[in-house]
Amino acid sequence: MSQGKQFGKLFSANIKMMFREKQVWFWNLFFPIILMSIFILIFGGGSDKAFKAKVAVVKPEQSQAAEGMYQGLKQIPVFTWQSEEPVSQEQADSLIKNKDVDGVIVLPDNGQAQSIKLIVNRENETSATSQALRGILDHFVTQANFQKAGITPAFKLETDSITSGSEDLSSVDFLMTGMIALAIAQGGLFGMVDLVEMRRKGLLKRLRMTPVRMGLLGLASMLVRFVLGVVQIAVLTVIGVYGFGAHLHLDIATLIVAFFIGSLAFNAIGYLISSFSKSLEAYMGVANIASFLMMFISGIFFPVNSLPDWLQSVTSAIPLTYFVEGLRDGMVYGEGLVTSDFWFGIGVLALWGAIAYMIGATLYRRTKVEVR
Amino acid sequence: MSILQVRGLRKTFGTVTAVDDISFDVRPGEVFTIIGPNGAGKTTTLEMIEGLQTPDAGSISIDGLTWAKDADRIKIRIGVQPQSGAMFDLLTVEETLELFAAFYPKSKSSAEVLEMINLTDHRKKRVKSLSGGQRQRLAIGLGMINDPDIIFLDEPTTGLDPQARRNIWDIILNLKAMGKTTILTTHYMEEAEKLSDRVCIVDQGRVVTLDTPGALIDRLTKEREVRLSFLDGEEAAAAAESALQAQPTVVRTARDGSSLALWSIQPEETLYGLFGFTKEQGFRVEQVSIREMSLEDVFIAFTGKEWRD
């Protein structure tokens, strides 16, 4: 029988087995979808809407200055007001404690103290919203001072955010591509568990008694994984774009190169793990550790520069870092094949894959068949 | 004329000698059974013949072919049902057979094999949901998908209920009728006795004895065990015992209450004499049995070990 027909049968058998396994559906599709949705809702939500902060004001009676400031504050568009009317100090305290508002602004009375006070809940003291509130009020106070002193400021600051690629790159795009990279990487890391099971149950031994080429078997299961990877990219992209408004700037050639080399590299790492894991539990343990470490220090969800320096050097060594960069080149930056950074990343991935495969193959060859 | 020739096989794993020195010849078309206690080296021997393990010493020739030179040609001429019976759990019975069929240049149709292993009705079932007996039959079916000349069955009936075992016996007898050579290992003496043309008893990595089941039993001493019990109680049994001890054909006796056991080299003559005595005394004999000699006795005689199923 021709190698072609053998391969065809092996491929279709592998496809059937993969899609009949409920675990595959869960871990490779549903779980990434849920995780992506949660991450986007937590970290990506702010980018679509304008910044809003809910505030309340404590205004002393019969204070001219306070009344003026109160009217001024009401003009600030990013504030939503807890109530139309100012509240008392006691009401304000309870609003803060119950976190009904992001902050309470206490306006000065007619006395000597001419300071505006911002009260926030201690739990939120360092949150982005509190920081922003402080900035806005600081600006407001400066403006008020300038007005009182009759000064026209000489310098103004204008900010615009710039990303290295397309103008409309949002954090949703960032999270979506990160999730795709993680899903494919985990597919590779965990996917080789079949091999451990096949060895433990004696199925590899059984196949060795037939004339089938083991290489053909490996090739068929590899190809099936590529099919799964394509499905993962398609499903997560559709949900990202239509569900959360992610933007795509596809560069198909870049995407294909990154996907192909990345999948191979992570499958090779999975293969390496399988070569020294005698049981399912051992394999899952090692794969979980690898996956968790990579998830948090590769910059797929969090910018890497928030990590300590020594950890950043680890970041620049692990494959997921380069895989996610390559995918972003192909999916949101819309370029890559022309940049040397892209090819450097692909090189690192290929190196990881090659080394993992070689060690794995050596370990497999050394493993003796168990005594009976 | 032999289709499989095994000479001086030896295999050690570290300090354990699994197979010490095993030689035998298998004739075409016969059912050749290897029996022996656990750890005797049966599976290791089979695995060396199947090409999964390389012997430390000795030679294996399968119809003139050797693993070193003709691995691919041997693989298409042998079929194997390994002890582990590992399969792809998520494929159906039919898909499994067709997948394995694709591995070989020539194969039987899956329909034909399904018929032989009596799984036609279950062909759409996933392997995962098969019963133990069905699963084992599928494993045997995979061993014959390439229409091999020699088929190896490693403990095909272990752990199965009597009906499922009988189904597998039918398959083996069928293979024999088709002229296939079958090499079988088993835990069940009854099975070896019923199915085998020749039996090879292996212990501690060596061949203890090898012959047809009938010849092996004949080789045992002619001593037979006879058991009787007396309705008239202990007294009658004791009197009969002392009468028996006078007979030259009786080797020894044992008594437990009103039951009596005796070992005789000529049971018929012994019993003739005994019944003359009981009639004379007016003793009523309730039960008489002469135990058949079986392979189990052969096994015990040759290895000095108790047989456990």
DSSP letters along chain B, please? --SEEEEEEEEEETTEEEEEEEEEEE-TT-EEEEE--TTSSHHHHHHHHTTSS--SEEEEEETTB-HHHHHHHHHHHEEEE-SS----TTSBHHHHHHHHHHTSSS---HHHHHHHTT-GGGTTSBGGG--HHHHHHHHHHHHHTT--SEEEEESTTTT--HHHHHHHHHHHHHHHHTT-EEEEE-S-HHHHHHH-SEEEEEETTEEEEEE-HHHHHHTS-S-EEEEEEETTHHHHHHHHHHHHHT-TTEEEEEEETTEEEEEESSHHHHHHHHHHHHHHHTPPEEEEEEPPP-HHHHHHHHH------
Residue A371 has pLDDT above 50, yes or no: no
Residue A270 has pLDDT above 80, yes or no: yes
8 A C-beta contact, residue B223 and residue B213: no
- Give strand pairing partners of B79: B151
What CATH number did the domain enclosing B253 receive? Answer: 3.30.70.100
- The reply to whether B189 falls in a domain is yes
| Residues A253, A360 within the same domain | yes
Terminal CA-CA length for chain B: 34
Of B13, B72, B87, which is closest to A203 when you measure between CB atoms?
A: B87
What CATH number did the domain enclosing A100 receive? Answer: 3.40.1710.10
**CB-based contact, B50 to chain A, within 8 Å:** yes
| Residues A213, A354 within the same domain | yes
Q: How far apart are CA B287 and CA B13, in angstroms?
A: 53
Q: Work out the pLDDT band at B125, boundaries 50, 70, 90.
A: very high
- The reply to whether A155 falls in a domain is no
Q: Work out the pLDDT band at A158, boundaries 50, 70, 90.
A: low
Residue A12 has pLDDT above 60, yes or no: yes
The count of domains in chain A is 2
Residue B76 to residue A9, Cβ atoms within 8 A? no
Looking at residue A370, its pLDDT comes to 41
| Residues A284, A301 within the same domain | yes
| Residues A34, A68 within the same domain | no
- The reply to whether A157 falls in a domain is no
- The reply to whether A264 falls in a domain is yes
Q: Which domain holds residue B257?
A: 222-292
| Residues A31, A174 within the same domain | yes
Partners of residue A198 in chain B, C-beta under 8 Å? 86
| Residues A106, A190 within the same domain | no
User: Measuring CA to CA, how many Å separate A150 from each of A23, A66, A75, B274?
Assistant: 70, 19, 20, 141
Q: Work out the pLDDT band at A161, boundaries 50, 70, 90.
A: low
Burial of B203 (0-12, 13-18, 19+ CB in 10 A): buried
The tens digit of pLDDT for each residue in A56-99 reads: 888 877 777 778 788 888 777 778 887 777 888 888 888 888 88
Q: Work out the pLDDT band at A348, boundaries 50, 70, 90.
A: very high
- The reply to whether B276 falls in a domain is yes
In the structure encoding, which two tokens stand for residue A261, read together? 């080399």
Which residues, including other chains, have CB under 8 Å from residue A286's CB and lie 6 or more apart?
Answer: A273, A277
Q: How far apart are CA A30 and CA A21, in angstroms?
A: 13
Looking at residue B126, its pLDDT comes to 95
Query: Domain boundary residue among A149, A180, A196?
Result: A149
| Residues A96, A197 within the same domain | no
- The reply to whether B167 falls in a domain is yes
Q: Work out the pLDDT band at B45, boundaries 50, 70, 90.
A: very high
User: Measuring CA to CA, how many Å separate B158 from each of B133, B153, B164, B165, B213?
Assistant: 10, 11, 10, 8, 20
Residue A372 has pLDDT above 50, yes or no: no
Q: Work out the pLDDT band at B77, boundaries 50, 70, 90.
A: very high
| Residues B274, B130 within the same domain | no
DSSP element (H, E) containing A119: strand A117-119
Residue A45 has pLDDT above 70, yes or no: no
Of B53, B76, B90, which is closest to A16 when you measure between CB atoms?
A: B90
| Residues A259, A323 within the same domain | yes
What is the number of residues in chain B?
A: 309
| Residues A353, A219 within the same domain | yes
| Residues B131, B252 within the same domain | no
| Residues A335, A255 within the same domain | yes
The tens digit of pLDDT for each residue in B87-117 reads: 999 999 999 999 999 999 999 999 999 999 9
| Residues B261, B113 within the same domain | no
| Residues A33, A74 within the same domain | no
Query: Domain boundary residue among B184, B200, B218?
Result: B218
Q: How far apart are CA B37 and CA B202, in angstroms?
A: 8
- The reply to whether A198 falls in a domain is yes
Which one-letter DSSP state was computed for residue A242? Answer: I
User: Measuring CA to CA, how many Å separate A260 from each of A252, A351, B58?
Assistant: 12, 14, 48
- The reply to whether A154 falls in a domain is no
Partners of residue B16 in chain A, C-beta under 8 Å? 371
The count of domains in chain B is 2
- The reply to whether A76 falls in a domain is yes
| Residues B202, B288 within the same domain | no
Residue written as token pair 């084992």? B136
Q: Work out the pLDDT band at A48, boundaries 50, 70, 90.
A: very low
Partners of residue B85 in chain A, C-beta under 8 Å? 202
| Residues B63, B193 within the same domain | yes
* 153-212 in chain A: CB under 8 A from chain B: 198, 201-203, 205-206, 208-212
Q: How far apart are CA A297 and CA A320, in angstroms?
A: 9
Q: Which domain holds residue A123?
A: 53-149
Residue A305 has pLDDT above 50, yes or no: yes
8 A C-beta contact, residue B226 and residue B271: yes
- The reply to whether A349 falls in a domain is yes
Terminal CA-CA length for chain A: 34
Query: Coil, strand or helix: which one is A168?
Result: coil
- The reply to whether B305 falls in a domain is no
- Give strand pairing partners of B57: B10
| Residues B214, B262 within the same domain | no
Residue written as token pair 């950890």? A311
| Residues B28, B160 within the same domain | yes
Q: Which of B65, B87, B99, B136 to mutate to test the interface with A (most CBs of A within 10 A)?
A: B99
In the structure encoding, which two tokens stand for residue B211, read together? 């012959």
The full DSSP string for A22-54 is: HHHHIIIIIHHHHHHHHHIIIIIHHHHSPP-EE
| Residues B167, B23 within the same domain | yes
Residue A369 has pLDDT above 70, yes or no: no
- The reply to whether B147 falls in a domain is yes
**CB-based contact, B104 to chain A, within 8 Å:** yes
Q: Work out the pLDDT band at B278, boundaries 50, 70, 90.
A: confident
Residue B80 to residue A211, Cβ atoms within 8 A? no
Residue A211 to residue B90, Cβ atoms within 8 A? no
In the structure encoding, which two tokens stand for residue A234, read together? 């398609």
Backbone angles phi, psi at B211, to 5 degrees: -170, 180
- The reply to whether B304 falls in a domain is no
Q: Work out the pLDDT band at B61, boundaries 50, 70, 90.
A: very high
Residue among A229, A228, A226, A233 nearest A248 (CA): A233
Looking at residue A159, its pLDDT comes to 60
* 4-43 in chain B: CB under 8 A from chain A: 13-14, 16, 18, 43
Backbone angles phi, psi at B204, to 5 degrees: 50, 45
Query: Domain boundary residue among B154, B184, B218?
Result: B218
Partners of residue B43 in chain A, C-beta under 8 Å? 372
| Residues B45, B129 within the same domain | yes
What CATH number did the domain enclosing B99 receive? Answer: 3.40.50.300
| Lowest-confidence region among A48-57, A130-139, A347-356 | A48-57
- The reply to whether B303 falls in a domain is no
**CB-based contact, B125 to chain A, within 8 Å:** no
Q: How far apart are CA B297 and CA A315, in angstroms?
A: 71
| Residues B55, B149 within the same domain | yes
Looking at residue A168, its pLDDT comes to 54
Of A6, A10, A20, which is closest to B90 when you measure between CB atoms?
A: A20
Residue A205 to residue B84, Cβ atoms within 8 A? yes
- The reply to whether B118 falls in a domain is yes
| Residues A246, A345 within the same domain | yes
